[in-house]
Amino acid sequence: MKLREINSYNKLRKFVEFPMELYRNDANYIPPLIQDELNVLSPKHNKAFKDARSRYWVVEDEGRIVGRIAGIIKPCDTDPSLMEARFGWLDFINNQEVLYHLLSAVEQWCLHEKIYSLKGPLGFNSFDRSGILVGGYNELPTMFGNYNYPYYAELLEAVGYKSKFHWVEYRIQVPKEIPKKFIKGAQTIRKRYGLKQVAIKNKNALRGYSEAIRMLINEAYQGISGFSEISQEQFAQLYQKFVQLIPRDYFSLIEDNTGELVGFGLVMPDLSKALKKMNGRFFPFGYWQLHRALKKSDTVDLLLIAVKPSFQHRGVHALIFEQIIPAVIRRGVLYVESTKELESNSDVRNLWGDFDHRQHKKSACFYRDLRSNSSIENLLSYK
């Protein structure tokens, strides 16, 4: 077993491609686009590197990669004046020694930088794949969801890592028509608080709201575990990457009587099956696969619902759904994937009570205090 740090583009490409070999015969693994992954991990292309640093390692056995990990140091979610450490892009064969070498590399970097805790898997921002799957191994993940073998969580716990928090995901059946409860609720909320739904005539009109959307997301999710504030540069990249692909009737913008944005919702066609067929490559037929999925998909992913804190618990989500549900019904969508929601966030989970739904996936973020002697001893015992 040899630990090697990635120090060239060719090696980084092998780092990105390793899971495609690890999960070669697994029907539920969805490979990301290789070029997208390379861009995310590159300081040249990812605006997150304005405030963040990263290092990447692989473990090789007789020249063959058997594990990979990324270490990330970035401003702390709760206090940007402090720095925190994360690990991400964690994949490895079912071997405790491989995991030991990978984690040790990141931990030694953390200690050198005088950072004494480590959590993950997390990316540079909340739109990167995150979490260790701990339930729902037979379900197809969304393009934003991690997939892994069951032994990942078992081996992490064996070396002293504990789950910090959990995310859950739901599969929601689209009703044949908007529930009357939502129509009545939306009318009441609209009148009571002087709110209105913004008519989005075209993508240029939507672009005019981009900064207001970014600020609303940051305000709504501030302090929530696993969320990283999105900078203007990062949001511009996300806007270019995703928004241009999504039909405008899959957006919902809610304003108050002063014209301030107080609510935002967004769904997008599910691309998992298309990405599976593309196998990480855009050429030669990737564009056709994506185009087909964007035009006709029986499932959409609920990417985001954000409500201004002063308007939370006031039923603003009814206005958001009132605007989006007709669009998905009109386009023949049968299911909505909720994507990750904090298990502790009962307000969000309660949104699905009025729909036929099931919780089908669960994932965890793991954490270790690097000053814990017992945890260090656990790691050393595997050296």
pLDDT for the residue 243: 73
Phi then psi for residue 162, to 5 deg, are: -125, 150
Q: Give burial (CB, 10 Å; 0-12/13-18/19+) of 292.
A: middle
Distances from the Cα of 250 to the Cα of 72, 88, 259, 266, 358, angstroms:
33, 30, 21, 6, 23
> Looking at residue 158, what DSSP letter applies?
H
> Looking at residue 277, what DSSP letter applies?
H
Distances from the Cα of 346 to the Cα of 103, 168, 218, angstroms:
33, 11, 20
DSSP for 57-90, please give it.
EEEEETTEEEEEEEEEEEE-SS-TTSEEEEEEEE
pLDDT for the residue 378: 47
DSSP for 175-234, please give it.
PSS--HHHHHHHHHHHHHHT-EEPP--SHHHHHTTHHHHHHHHHHHHTT-TT--PPPHHH
| pTM, rounded to two decimals | 0.89
pLDDT for the residue 381: 47
d(CA 200, CA 254): 11
Mean pLDDT for each consecutive 10-residue tract of the chain (383 residues)?
Answer: 94 96 93 93 93 97 96 88 94 96 96 94 91 94 90 94 94 88 86 90 82 92 81 84 80 93 92 85 70 82 90 89 90 92 80 86 95 55 42
- Set out the domains of the chain in order of their start, with CATH numbers: 2-168+363-380 (3.40.630.30), 175-333 (3.40.630)
Which of 290, 294, 284, 359 is closest to 333 using CA atoms?
A: 294
Residue 277, both tokens: 């067929």
Distances from the Cα of 337 to the Cα of 55, 138, 141, 145, 371, angstroms:
33, 15, 9, 11, 39
d(CA 302, CA 298): 13
Q: Cβ(309)–Cβ(220) under 8 Å?
A: yes
The 3-class secondary structure across 181-196, one letter per residue, is HHHHHHHHHHHHHCCE
d(CA 135, CA 124): 24
Which of 60, 73, 129, 69 is closest to 105 using CA atoms?
A: 69
HSE of 199, CA atoms in CB hemisphere, 13 A: 1
d(CA 90, CA 122): 9
Residue 232, both tokens: 């203007």
SS3 call for 171: strand
pLDDT for the residue 284: 65
Pairing of strands 357-369, 2-5: unpaired
